[in-house]
Structure 1
Amino acid sequence: MMTPTAWAVDLASTPGQKPAAARLRAGREPYDTAIAAYERIVAGGDADTDWDRAAPVFYGRWDERARVNHAAGGQQQNEKAALAFAGPGAFDPPATRQALRRLTAEVLVLAGELDGNPPPALAAQLAELFPRGAVDVQPGAAHFPFLDDPEWFAARIERFLSEGAWAPGRRADPAGRPRPGQGRRTPTGARPPVRRRTVEADAPREGRRRRCPSSTPRCRYA
């Protein structure tokens, strides 16, 4: 599961967690402008201009690859389907949690170190719902780890598919930074070695209209 939202199990980033992750890059552009726009969105705004200005916080690197992905986002979304997915009565968290506890397959939840939805701590809570779940945190990545560091991402997924969620790897250096191709692997029930914040259930309000018309993945990230 790559940077998944977890509304279906009554886990969601709080309004405080989302901008907190973005603020990790405060102090330089384009992030200061993006953070200000994202804070307005989290506070309830939904202007298309703010979604475009906030785009850099969704990526680990605001480079040409990220810009192309952002510009093409509107062609990759179905607004009608997105609204139906998160509409009233779409989720039954207790039933979904029970179903996940019966899953026997190994599950890897991959989070981005700089992602606010879900932040790594919340991704770890999601992994704990699976009997054989594990969480890994991609360094320097945000909501699109496959763009932020394709080589790291591909190596981690390949290792999971070939060896399972608990694939052995080289140990991290003394500072705790994973070596290339080696993420922060955390067993379920343990805290991920990342900045820790309080996690509270904050599922979308029933009946709230979730807009997805522009190039930013707002239905997944807002």
Structure 2
Amino acid sequence: MEFFTSYDGTALAFRTLGDGPPLLCLPGCPGRAAAYLGDLGGLSAHRTLILPDTRGTGASAMPADLATCRVDRLVADVEALRRHLGLDRVDLLGHSAGGSLAMLYAAAHPDRLDSLTLVTPSLAAVGLPSDSGVEAVIAARAAEPWHAEAVTAHRHVTAAKTFAEAAPYRFAFEPLMYGRWDEAARAHAAADPAQRALPVSEHYYRGYTPDTRELRGRLGALPCPVLLLAGEVDLWPTAESAAGAAALFPEVTLAVQPGAGHYPWLDDPQAFTARVEGFLSRVG
């Protein structure tokens, strides 16, 4: 684990994993330490993954002002890390809520990106819906033995006003977030509470209102290529929502991974790695 000091004096942690050109990977969920990303399905065999813990999560210090954990203000931490690493330009990957952060970074610092990879990204930062057609996605999995319990839990999670209120229902809901509810998925989901900092989760979008016109204008002029990777059975974003978001970017590859949920590197590591590395290699 390595550390750097961000713009406001907060000590932030990151680790590097793998070999090859650097790929800066922003975790999401939101408020979950980067450990849940693992090695991104073996992508570390092709890229040096730079995996920062968002402020207040994992080994990163909790800031004195929790308002600095809001997604738009986290852009400054990403820029501070880029400077610390001495990279003039970066390949940037964002997952889930980290996808929202990656889009805001791209809008603020387009000249610092060689590529942008959005893996099942939250679309909250750009004011787009993430759940278009979600009921059909849920209904398509009705034959699963866990389905009834997960649907009930899903209603509780979506009705909750805070992450803490949703927490008691999360594990029962989690099968809907994976393409396969196997031993690896259950272990990954069970690790969530220990990896998640609820104060960061609660403040990630609190008080944030996107300037959608300006953001969409900036993203519409983004000079680097974008990979937008969705999971076929993901709920947030659905493949339908991801397809709508693709129109934000002038040079975009939209990929829907068959049978994948919110964590496509777990559902089919080979397909995920081939798709992302193929894109990055073409960019390089």
Report the TM-score, using the length of structure 1 for normalisation: 0.67
Q: Deviations over 1:192-219 (max 9, x none)?
A: xxxxxxxxxxxxxxxxxxxxxxxxxxxx
Deviations 1:115-164 (A, max 9, x none): 11111121112111111012100000011101111111011111111124
Q: Are positions 1:136 and 2:252 aligned together?
A: no
For 2:228, the equivalent position in structure 1 comes to: 109
Is 2:110 aligned against 1:10?
no
Matched, 1:21 2:137: yes
**CA deviation map 1:21-62 (0-9, x unaligned):** 222110231122212221333344845332221110000001
Conserved 8 A contact 1:19-1:38: no
CA distance in 2, matches of 1:92, 1:76: 31
Question: For residues 1-222 of structure 1, what are the structure 2 equivalents within 5 Å?
Answer: 1-14=118-131, 17-44=133-160, 46-164=165-283
Q: Is the 8 A contact 2:179 2:233 kept in 1?
A: yes
The structure with higher relative contact order (CA 8 Å, sep 6+) is: 1
Distance 1:100 1:115 in 2: 24
1:95 counterpart SS class:
helix
Distance 2:218 2:203 in 1: 22
Aligned in 2, Cα 1:127/1:155: closer, same or farther, shift over 3 Å? same
CA contact (8 A) 2:226 2:253 kept: yes
Aligned partner of 2:281: which letter? S
Contact 1:18 1:116 in 2 (8 A): yes
- How many percent identity over aligned positions? 37
Partner of 2:215: helix, strand, or coil? helix
Shift of 1:80: 2.3
Taking the aligned partners of 2:256 and 2:198, their CA distance within structure 1 comes to 30
d(CA) in 1 for partners of 2:136, 2:120: 17
CA-atom RMSD, angstroms? 2.1
Aligned to 1:209: none
Contact preservation (8 Å) 2:178, 2:260: yes
SS at match of 1:110: strand
Q: How many residues are matched? A: 164
- Tell which deviates more after alignment, 74-83 or 107-116: 74-83
Q: Which amino acid aligns with 1:70?
A: A
Partner residue in 1 for 2:55:
none
Q: Which amino acid is the alignment partner of residue 144 of structure 2?
A: R
Query: Which stretches of structure 1, 4 residues or longer, exceed 6 Å deviation after superposition?
Result: none
TM-score between both structures, scaled by the size of structure 2:
0.53
Q: Separation in 2 of the partners of 1:6 and 1:128? A: 13
Alpha-carbon offset, residue 93 of structure 1? 2.0
Structure 2 unaligned blocks of 5 or more: 1-117
Match of 2:18? none
Q: Distance in 2 between matches of 1:149 and 1:38?
A: 24
Q: Which runs of 5+ in 1 are unaligned?
A: 165-222
AA partner of residue 4 (structure 1): P
